[in-house]
A and B are shown apart, each in its own frame.
Chain A
């Protein structure tokens, strides 16, 4: 290593007490993008486990008809908190965490554009999350009506107004999510400024790694889509605290207005959530196939197209509210149009693999699973976009199956791949491949066992958000399979957690570039030093390390 005054091995710390406090302070006060990125990701993983455990309880309750694991109110809180946590406290910090950790490294920068804003973003996000969970303790308020919010993750009015939700649980939902949203906006501005202003010499936009492109568009979507949610939540809080009438149907307020506001945010949000998966695939598939990304310009075009079209499809969540046939047709059409750029992405990843030499290590296995599962998810999405079909499927377990295929089968699956891929860079050590393979198979089988059957339950008329159901309606078998699968997923996630912790201590040292990869982060040490690069790199193509490794046949000759 040319210049390394940063020890790879962590020095053994004897008297932990003293150093612990010191280290803790270092983490809390840090403005380093890598530390903040890791803090985002670790909190997201913790929230994933919390919300995952909630999901397991949900599945236990539904495993048999007339289940008695939890009572109705508890159940309603469980799915509300599960959904809210997964979306706002797992999905959103993952976006922030991945872009924080990787974007500066990939564009050859020493830090984010606004490091202090970055740390502000993280802490306010965490505060929002904890505020939401504090509702379990503080939510009952003076009137003593209940604890955590129980209005569903999209909190439809007028169920959320004072007349139908007493106590303070809904306030915690609105405030917690509002506050954590400010964190996301701060971090999105930061990502945009970083990518626009801090790219290392030579890295024009056309040479920027695909990962960074996707995260850039993602940040753009956050900026445009989150403020509507904040606006809605501010209105809701005004209703609840000052007696305003935005959603008070007794005073002429409109319940449908909330739905529009929420889904103007909500639909772009699901693309915000899936983009990290797209970003991960766009890095991992080329590396493990040993080929450059097929059709790079088309991939950039597709992601930008998604970033714009997805802003105009929101009312496909509202086909059942009785809109005019024109609106229904418009939103059905625009929703299906999103399938085209998304298809382009799937095709290009496949073409990248085609003719390659695919190393089927765990990260790549997760990518392959992602491709198939996301294909299913997208196609069920198309079915939902066919409005007359959606009148049947809306708010049934078919929708639940659709979005878990996109989120658990898409996002989470790709994330596992990404985590394994960057693990050696972050930890400086290699994860355990055997354990990882176990994790992969358990998770993929468990996931499909959970969510394939739920499609059928939906077509048999099973509505979502029911805490129990009577026997004899044809739903039992599908629910039992699903519950079994959920337990397998829990086992898989536990293996993952164990692998991450164990390998951080006992794993093989990984070296700087274990995958023989091509983007800049693999050109620095593992873990990277505080300032990332001793000397700012200079790039001439979108695969800078490939150029350096193949001086006789560099990429820039072809670009």
Chain B
């Protein structure tokens, strides 16, 4: 089993990790359009900065009072000039109109794009402080990690339907696209089409309470065939009758604890919806929306006391004995 874990890890590491989420290195069409307009804006404002800033500095330097100056002598009193006023009103108006025009175009291009045919649909639901990810077409539910296929042929966009069950959250994977909020009692949509395989880092970008800082997100972009395999695997229910006696014992323990009130493990009596779906827990790279990397020790620590790693989070410390803990964890580790 540890061999499998190790394989998983290398598998995960097989994809390049983009920890540094630079908005100027986009890997998706919306992000790319945003970078273009960002560069244009930066260019224009950069020029304005140099010209106006230069003028200010020059004026201060040129007209500063020098030591030898007669302090009683006043400079010529100038009250203003209409021509000049008009000039520096009209020029900025022209610049602003350029920016408005460009913005309008990009806004429309990103927001009003209609979905291409073969579109993957994902329902993303924000919770304090984790992400519920649902693939309605495949009846798959997972958490904190979004898997999407690479957009190789230009036709595989992914549509995200964004919702929230408690407070406002915001979806932001900087290298893929700008953010869109997840708002309770409202449904938002956005689309992405990552063009390169890799793991892209993101965060919840709207303050949503104590653990907003640890509401991290990973977008795993895979080649289509790997993605298909992943989906097929995720659609499997968990083993109903594990053969390994240790795991079977763990399963009984797990099902006898309060875990089942909050967590779902498909194919078992655990049907809770308050916490993340655990059916394929071990296929994820992190625990608790990115606070801990997934490994045996961390998982054990998490189940022992989640408040340690993620103080304030809504999973209580379950106060298990060491033996119970070992059993539960060995069961969890069978949930690939």
User: Which residues of A does B touch, CB under 8 Å?
Assistant: 71-73, 76, 150-152, 156, 158-159, 163-164, 249-250, 252-256, 289-292, 294-298, 320-322, 324-325, 328-329, 332-333, 336-337, 339-340, 343-344, 346-348, 350-351, 353-360, 368, 371-372, 375-376, 379-380, 382-383, 386-396, 459-461, 463-470, 472-474, 555, 558-559
Q: Is B241 an interface residue (CB 8 A)?
A: no
State A390–B33 Cα separation when bound (angstroms): 12
Are B184 and A255 in contact, with the CB atoms below 8 A?
yes
Verify if B257 is at the interface (C-beta below 8 Å from A).
no
Q: Which residue of B lies closest to A251 (CB)?
A: B185
In the complex, what residue of chain B is closest to A160 when comparing beta carbons? B167
* Closest chain B CB from A426 CB (angstroms): 25
C-alpha spacing A343/B168, complex, angstroms:
36
Given A325-B108, A332-B107, A333-B100, are A354 and B63 also a contact pair (CB < 8 Å)?
yes
B53 interface contact, C-beta 8 A: yes
Q: Are B207 and A375 in contact (CB under 8 A)?
A: no
Q: Which residues of B contact A344 (CB under 8 A)?
A: 85, 88-89
Q: In the assembly, what is the distance between CA of A321 and CA of B202, in Å?
A: 18
**B246 proximal to A (CB < 8 A):** no
Complex contact A459–B107 (CB within 8 A): no
Are A290 and B74 within 8 A (Cβ)?
A: yes
Q: Would A159 and B78 count as touching, CB distance under 8 A?
A: no
Q: Shortest Cβ distance from B138 into chain A, in angstroms? A: 25
26 A-B pairs in the complex with CB atoms less than 8 angstroms apart: A152-B207, A158-B168, A158-B184, A255-B184, A255-B185, A294-B79, A294-B80, A320-B178, A321-B183, A340-B92, A350-B56, A355-B76, A359-B65, A391-B110, A391-B178, A391-B180, A392-B34, A460-B174, A461-B202, A461-B203, A463-B172, A463-B203, A463-B205, A465-B212, A467-B213, A473-B20
The answer, among A164, A347, A466, for a CB contact under 8 Å with B212, is: A466
Query: Is there contact, CB below 8 Å, between B110 and A388?
Result: yes
For window 29-55 of B, CB contacts with A under 8 Å fall at 31, 33-34, 37-38, 41-42, 45, 48-49, 52-53, 55
- Once the chains bind, are A459 and B180 in contact (CB under 8 Å)? no
Contact A389:B37 (CB < 8 A) given known A164-B209, A355-B76, A394-B179: yes
- Complex interface: chain B residues within 8 A of A256 (CB): 183, 186
- Nearest residue, chain A, Cβ from B179: A320
Complex CA–CA separation, A526 to B59 (angstroms): 33
Expressed in whole angstroms, the minimum distance between the Cβ of A7 and any Cβ of chain B is 30
Q: A72 contacts B201, CB within 8 Å?
A: no
Determine the chain B residues whose CB is within 8 A of the CB of A163 once the complex forms.
Answer: 166
B103 and A356 form a contact (CB under 8 A): no
Q: Give the residue of A350, A387, A391, A555 whose beta carbon is less than 8 angstroms from that of B59.
A: A350
In the bound complex, what is the Cα–Cα distance between A468 and B76 (angstroms)? Answer: 57
Return A81 CB to nearest CB of chain B, in Å. 14
CB distance from B130 to the nearest CB of A (A): 16
Whether B312 contacts A73 by the Cβ 8 Å rule is yes
* Residue contact B178 to A358, C-beta cutoff 8 Å: no
A322 & B311 in contact (Cβ 8 Å cutoff): no
Contacts of A459 in B (CB 8 A): 22-24
Q: Are B89 and A72 in contact (CB under 8 A)?
A: no
Q: Quick check: is B21 within 8 A (CB to CB) of the other chain?
A: yes
B168 CB, min distance to chain A CBs, angstroms = 6
Label chain B's interface by main secondary structure.
Answer: mixed
Report the tally of A-B residue pairs with Cβ distances under 8 A.
277
User: B79–A298 contact, CB under 8 A?
Assistant: no
Give CA–CA (A218, B111) in the complex, Å.
Answer: 37
Instruction: Specify which of A329, A356, A359, A388 lies most central, judged by the most chain B CB atoms within 10 Å of its CB.
Output: A388
Q: B319 an interface residue at 8 Å Cβ cutoff?
A: no
Q: Are B92 and A339 in contact (CB under 8 A)?
A: yes
| CB atoms of A321 and B92 under 8 A apart | no
CB distance from B333 to the nearest CB of A (A): 24
What residues of chain B have their CB less than 8 Å away from a CB belonging to chain A?
19-24, 31, 33-34, 37-38, 41-42, 45, 48-49, 52-53, 55-57, 59-60, 63-65, 69, 73-81, 84-85, 88-89, 92-93, 96, 99-100, 102-104, 106-108, 110-112, 128, 162, 166-168, 170, 172, 174, 177-181, 183-186, 188-189, 201-214, 290, 311-312
Q: Are A332 and B100 in contact (CB under 8 A)?
A: yes
Report if A386-B37 is in contact (Cβ < 8 Å); known contacts: A76-B210, A329-B103, A346-B52: yes
Contact B184 A336, beta carbon cutoff 8 Å: no
Smallest CB-CB A-B distances: 10 pairs: A391-B178, A461-B21, A466-B213, A322-B188, A295-B80, A249-B184, A461-B174, A249-B185, A379-B45, A474-B20
**Interface pair A298/B85, CB less than 8 Å apart:** yes
> A348 vs B38: C-alpha distance in the bound complex, in angstroms?
29
Q: How far is the CA of A356 from the CA of B65 in the complex (A)?
A: 9
What is the minimal beta-carbon distance from B40 to any residue of chain A, in angstroms?
A: 9
Question: Using Cβ atoms and an 8 Å threshold, which residues of chain A touch B100?
Answer: 329, 332-333, 336
Please give, as numbers and ranges, the residues of chain A lying within 8 Å of B93 by CB-CB distance: 340
How far is the CB of B32 from the nearest CB of chain A, in Å?
A: 11
A289 CB contacts on chain B under 8 angstroms:
63, 75
Name the one of B33, B55, B60, B204 contacting A388, with C-beta atoms under 8 angstroms: B33
Quick one: which of A254, A357, A460, A469 has the most chain B CB within 10 A?
Answer: A357
Whether A252 touches B166, Cβ cut-off 8 Å, given contacts A295-B81, A388-B37, is no
Q: Are A336 and B210 in contact (CB under 8 A)?
A: no
Query: B residues within 8 A CB of A164?
Result: 128, 166-167, 209
| A77 to B200 alpha-carbon distance, docked (Å) | 31
CB closest residue in chain B, given A325: B111
Residue contact A388 to B208, C-beta cutoff 8 Å? no
A469 and B213 in contact, given A336-B99, A459-B24, A461-B174 (Cβ under 8 angstroms): yes
* A558→B168 contact, CB < 8 A: no
Closest to A79 in B: B207
Select one of B89, B106, B204 contacting A463, CB under 8 A: B204
In the assembled complex, which residues on chain B have CB atoms less than 8 Å from the CB atom of A343? 88, 92
What is the bound-complex CA distance between A256 and B208, given in angstroms?
Answer: 15
B37 touches A72 (CB 8 A): no
Asked whether, in the complex, the Cβ of B180 is within 8 Å of the Cβ of A320, the reply is yes
